[in-house]
Amino acid sequence: MDRIKLDYTNVLSSAVGEEHGLRPADLEAIAASSDAALAAVQARRTKDLRWLDLPHQDAVQRDVLNYAATMQASFKSGEIENVVVLGIGGSALGNRALHAALSSPFHDIARPDGMPRLIVLDNVDPDLVGEFLDTFDVSKCLFNVISKSGSTAETMSQFLVLRKRLIEAVGEEAHRKHIVVTTDAEKGVLRPIVDAEGYASFIVPDGVGGRFSVLSPVGLVSSALVGIDVPGLLAGAADMDERCREAPFAENPALIYAAIQFLMQSKKAKPMAVTFSYSQRLACVGDWYAQLLAESIGKRKSLAGEDVFVGPTPISAVGVTDQHSQVQLYVEGPFDKWFTLLAVERADHTVEIPSQYADHDALSYLGGRTINELFTAEREGTRIALTDASRPSVSIQFPAVTAHSVGQYMYLMELSVAVMGEHYGIDAFDQPGVEAGKIAAYALMGRSGYDERRQEIEAAQGGAPKVV
């Protein structure tokens, strides 16, 4: 089986020294509370943390695959050329991560025959939305409107813009075939619209928050539409679930990763968590994790209601590209970071470097080797440089980038973050800071019920702005 592995040798004091590295005793000391944290998380599996069970939702998987199969004729005939996700945050980052990881990096430029592009329109920058409207024929698009709450202003405004455009382009009746909605079974404004319009739709189940929803129809529908191996993805996640559900600390990668994150911040003063993907394909998976970590652990209040202001700052970097922009800081800058290197053992391609210019030393050593060897050497070079400079790192080793290994990784990170929440003593599943911004935007846009907040904002803006 293509199991992913967590190698934490280089986070230990034996590799990076006592000041920055963890002693085995540090890990032993957190083992019992880690096991208890896992038990506490798993006890909520059938209650409010139903995302834990998403890999096993066979009926949902079948419905998603059936829907994707019904759309194949439209893709093959050229009637639909683009699948466009209208969503944001947890309703978009996983879609992009899966597509980037599991489709060709050039899928959307050199579109394979009979396959749609996947465009994730996760911003309301008018230059993005406007350029989309100028560039694409909406009558050749299938819009996957994704919003768990069914009320997020960004997604709803895009829905309103694109629905109108669709109706103008193809007519009231035909526009319905161009929209598939993923939302709550009952809450929010989208569900009654789905019922009234007869749009195809999928449910974001209860107990599945936005950033934990990638393995629900939120992430699966667009993935199935662009030909990603959804059964493989879920099987990988299910394997990781089985591996971590009850395993004790020493054998449990989710518990060890969560403990390292917590100890790096609380004991080693490293608030920056860098995910360094040595895989172009996994770059957006790093972005997906950044949201998972930031929104889950970045909290003002403890579970006891006290102000604690905790949370690591996630950073997503891509090897080798960011060796030439960020590694200088990582190796010589402040000792405030720890690193997770995503390493892929087997690439899909082997690219040989032909021997040329034998009399130029700067080129001749490359000839006869492979780009693969160079890529591995660069990754190992970075790991060694970090270790030599006393910068702790772990490696998550992917045998290859497949739906199965990505499913394992995503589930591993989700469970790990849930356990981190217990260590940090905060609620990892709410997002009051995000809600505060949403409420302020509703107030500024004149949504009914938000007048009082609008008045507060206006009153607070009393002073003259300082602008140069």
| Interface positions with ligand PA5 (CB under 6 A) | 88-91, 147-149, 152, 155, 209-211, 295, 431, 434
Decide whether 91 or 405 has the Cβ nearer to ligand PA5. 91
Decide whether 89 or 319 has the Cβ nearer to ligand PA5. 89
| Residue 18 CB-density burial (10 A; 0-12 exposed, 13-18 middle, 19+ buried) | exposed
Q: Quick count: other Cβ atoms within 10 Å of Cβ 43? A: 10
In whole angstroms, give the CA distance from residue 457 to residue 120. Answer: 32
Decide whether 219 or 253 has the Cβ nearer to ligand PA5. 219
Question: Which residues are CB-neighbours of 418 under 8 A, at least 6 positions away?
Answer: 41, 49, 52, 296, 428, 429
**244, 409 in Cβ contact below 8 A?**
no
Decide whether 122 or 239 has the Cβ nearer to ligand PA5. 122
Beta strands in 212-291 (DSSP E): 272-278
Supply the DSSP string of 199-250, one letter for each residue.
Answer: -EEEEE-TT--GGG-TTSHHHHHHHHHTT--HHHHHHHHHHHHHHHSS--GG
Catalytic residue among 177, 187, 301, 438: 438
Task: Classify residue 240 by its DSSP letter.
Answer: H
Shortest gap between Cβ of 114 and ligand PA5 (angstroms)?
30
Decide whether 316 or 387 has the Cβ nearer to ligand PA5. 316
Catalytic residue among 173, 306, 324, 349: 324
18 is catalytic: no
Decide whether 81 or 430 has the Cβ nearer to ligand PA5. 430
In whole angstroms, give the CA distance from residue 194 to residue 192. Answer: 5
Catalytic residue among 295, 299, 337, 404: 295
414 is catalytic: no
In whole angstroms, give the CA distance from residue 101 to residue 440. Answer: 35
In whole angstroms, give the CA distance from residue 385 to residue 331. Answer: 7
**240, 324 in Cβ contact below 8 A?**
no
In whole angstroms, give the CA distance from residue 375 to residue 340. Answer: 17
Shortest gap between Cβ of 218 and ligand PA5 (angstroms)?
8
Instruction: Please provide the distance, in angstroms rounded to a whole number, between the alpha carbons at the two ends of the chain.
Output: 60
Shortest gap between Cβ of 334 and ligand PA5 (angstroms)?
29
295 is catalytic: yes
Shortest gap between Cβ of 466 and ligand PA5 (angstroms)?
31
- Scanning the structure block, which residue is given the tokens 């191996």? 229
Shortest gap between Cβ of 349 and ligand PA5 (angstroms)?
34
Shortest gap between Cβ of 431 and ligand PA5 (angstroms)?
5
Active-site annotation, residues: 295, 324, 438
